[in-house]
Structure 1
Amino acid sequence: MTVPPKVRLAGRRLLQAVPALLGIIIITFLLTRALPGDPAVYFAGPAADAASIAEIRHRLGLDRSLPEQFLTYVGDLATGNLGTSISTGQPVLQEIITRLPASLELTLAALLIAVGVAVPLGVLAATRPDGWVDHACRFVVTAGVSLPTFFTGLALVYVFYYLAGWAPAPMGRLDIISLPPEHVTGFYLIDALLAGDVAVARSVLAHLALPALTLALFTLAPIARMTRAAMLQALGSEFIRTARAAGLSRRRILIVYALRNALLPVVTTLGMVFSFALGANVLVEKVFAWPGIGSYAVEALVVSDYAAVQGFVLTMALLFVLLNLVIDLTYTLIDPRLGLEE
């Protein structure tokens, strides 16, 4: 039985990710134990005596040696148990499942906005070097790289919520008078549309607009810059000159030949930007009180919540592995020859 090339590629990428995941588990475990503060002291409260703190430390397993704690942690991971968060009292896995869709919805919305603006802007800038579009592209790239996300978010809130009154209060994913849609995907916008609830969908869009725009301004800069550079290189290639000499239309040359050949570095950049956006989510979620996984990780770090921090890092590592797999498979769609390489 012949295994399809894409299946072999996916299998190789997953096997290559196993050592990386093992290293992440070990490093995360050691780094969380090096964090300042004692979770047992936080959990016991300011009025607890030494005996109560020692009892809680024993209950949490923190009085054992590091090798024993690590073996217990790996054993729990093997059964799908990420532990219990001491800051919320809930299982970490349940918290991640509940909060992760909010972060992914925000990140994907921002990437859609960024790609929708950056790719056409980069293409136009490459076709008109040193023109006003090219200068506008450079300005957007410079602004996107220079402005911190928390500053951009606060500025947008000040202008569109405080001054203009167009945007809702930056307090989560929905108005306080609206009920969340029935859970299907965890993405409020998709769930509201599936339920046919137009009012909730409008509320979700209104609350999603400013945080998604904040994150999009941060992510579109590298996408626009890479699109412009890749298109300039493609348009100066020999095959483009041959296509022009053959009498092909400008539109066909630009879209079918130049843009398709420029997509590989753009897709690579898009994967990197997605990773950066998940990290930048932390600040955006704090500014807009967005109940995502980033704000959950920050709160866990403050109180040295080992289980929550480890669960967050492991989740992000798995997302990056899946993202790299998707990028590799996307390469084979853009250039089928890559799927045949062993």
Structure 2
Amino acid sequence: MAYRAVLQRIAGALPSLIGVVIVTFLLSRALPGDPAAYFAGPAANAASVQQVRESLGLDKSWPEQFWRYLSDLSHGSLGHSLTTGQSVVADLVQRLPASMELTFCALIFAIIVAVPLGVLAAARPDSIVDHLCRALVTMGAAFPTFFVALLFVYVFYYVLGWAPQPVGRLDEIYYTFPSEVTGFLLIDTLIAGDFAAFRGALAQLILPTVSLGLFALAPIARMTRAAMLAALGSDFVRTARANGLAAGTVLFTYAFRNALLAVVNTLGMVFSFLLGSNVLIEQVFGWPGVGSYAVSAVIASDYASVQGFVLLMAVAYVLLNLVVDLVAGLIDPRVRFGG
């Protein structure tokens, strides 16, 4: 019956997607500035600006523009970007792997640090590990990502010289981009057998990964600690201890397995949030992802690009929630998708 649950989840997400399409269209029209004047240039006269506006279809009423937008969507088109001259779909497909690679690496870093820290903090309340966990959670939630990113660039690049210049995914002065297979640079360099480029790409990825991962670390560690404390205080854990089971067996086989459902739900939420909020990290490190693309589109009042980015994030959020629901059902068979 899993396929029925998937179809129900997708059907339930359709009203949300329709709402996103409508709200995005209205908000993009509320952006400051006139895209026709922007692309006509500072030396253009009123006639030239009006000609550009007509060519872009901006002289039509909002209902007419919205109908045209829906017509393009029905044909799988998100329009053309005014800043790049390409279709928005092509731009997003080209830039999405960079954002996905950064987001995946940041999430993996956060999981490696936060989950063990949360488990140990719950196993030893009020210990040094517990206080360290609380301190990291507080610091991770207190400092904005762009501040941490700028601080890392200043310390590790300008002062210490340990990190490479923040010029994007790979410094093309020293390395050559491999043929694109997956779009994930670390994987593509390994497929091409270019280990020097792999090391260069990994070096470029460390600082943005840690900057973004520290922001994700706080909610994951906090939820892991809270879920583990609840599991360790439950009746079945007390029964397992009374039966003389080893402490490690009680901690990981019983407590952590039952706390895993809450942790997975948090991971899905954090991943979707990171994918849409890594804009500032991409700006600081010159990362050619969808976040920096969206910033350029907003500055230029590029309606089609802004709408395409928001719609992509909405679809990604729905798909991530669907994956989280499926994984939750595998972890705990008591979960029912239709409920």
Q: TM-score range by the shorter chain?
A: over 0.9
Whether 1:8 and 2:4 are equivalent positions in the alignment is yes
Q: Is contact 2:212–2:278 with CA below 8 Å preserved after alignment?
A: yes
**Following the alignment from structure 1 to structure 2, what is the Cα–Cα distance between the partners of residues 192 and 114?**
24
Q: Judge conservation of contact 2:8–2:338 (CA < 8 Å) in 1.
A: no
Matched, 1:60 2:72: no
Whether contact under 8 Å (2:329, 2:336) holds in the other structure is yes
> Is the contact between residue 215 and residue 280 of structure 1 (CA under 8 Å) also seen in structure 2?
no
Residue 338 of structure 1 corresponds to which residue in structure 2? 335
Find the counterpart in structure 2 of residue 308 from structure 1. 305
1:36 deviation in Å?
A: 1.4
Kindly state the Cα deviation for residue 48 of structure 1 after the two structures are TM-superposed: 0.8
Q: For 1:69-84, what aligned pairs fall within 5 Å after superposition?
A: 69-84=65-80
1:19 alignment partner in structure 2? 15
- 2: CA distance, partners of 1:218 / 1:229: 18
Alignment of 1:156-235 (within 5 A): 156-177=152-173, 178-235=175-232
**1:325 pairs with 2:322:** yes
Q: Is the partner of 1:336 in helix, strand or coil? A: coil
Q: Gapped runs of 5+ residues in structure 1?
A: none
CA drift at 1:252: 1.2
Q: Which amino acid aligns with 2:284?
A: V
Partner in structure 1 of residue 283 of structure 2:
286
- Give distance in 1, aligned partners of 2:250 and 2:45: 76
Q: Which residue of 2 aligns with 1:145?
A: 141
CA deviation profile, 1:166-185 (whole Å, cap 9, x unmatched): 11001100012212121111
Identity percentage over the alignment?
62
Distance 1:7 1:210 in 2: 41
CA–CA distance in structure 2, aligned partners of residues 336 and 200 of structure 1: 44
Q: Show the 5 A alignment for 1:208-287.
A: 208-287=205-284
Is 1:91 matched with 2:87? yes
SS in 1 for 2:33: coil
What does the per-residue CA deviation read over 1:150-173, in whole Å, with 9 as the maximum and x for residues that have no partner?
Answer: 110111111111122111001100
Distance 2:323 2:271 in 1: 12
RMSD, matched Cα? 1.1
Distance 1:31 1:341, change over 3 A: closer
- CA deviations 1:20-71 (Å, max 9, x no partner) are 1111001100111111111110110011111111111111111111111111
Amino acid at match of 1:27: V
Q: How far is the alpha carbon of 1:280 from its aligned partner?
A: 2.7
Q: Which is further off, 52-61 or 109-118?
A: 52-61
Corresponding residue of 1:129? 125
Q: Which moved more, 1:119-128 or 1:277-286?
A: 277-286
* SS of residue in 1 equivalent to 2:334: helix
Deviations along 1:172-227, one digit per CA (max 9) or x if unpaired, are 00012212121111110011112221111111100000000000111100100110
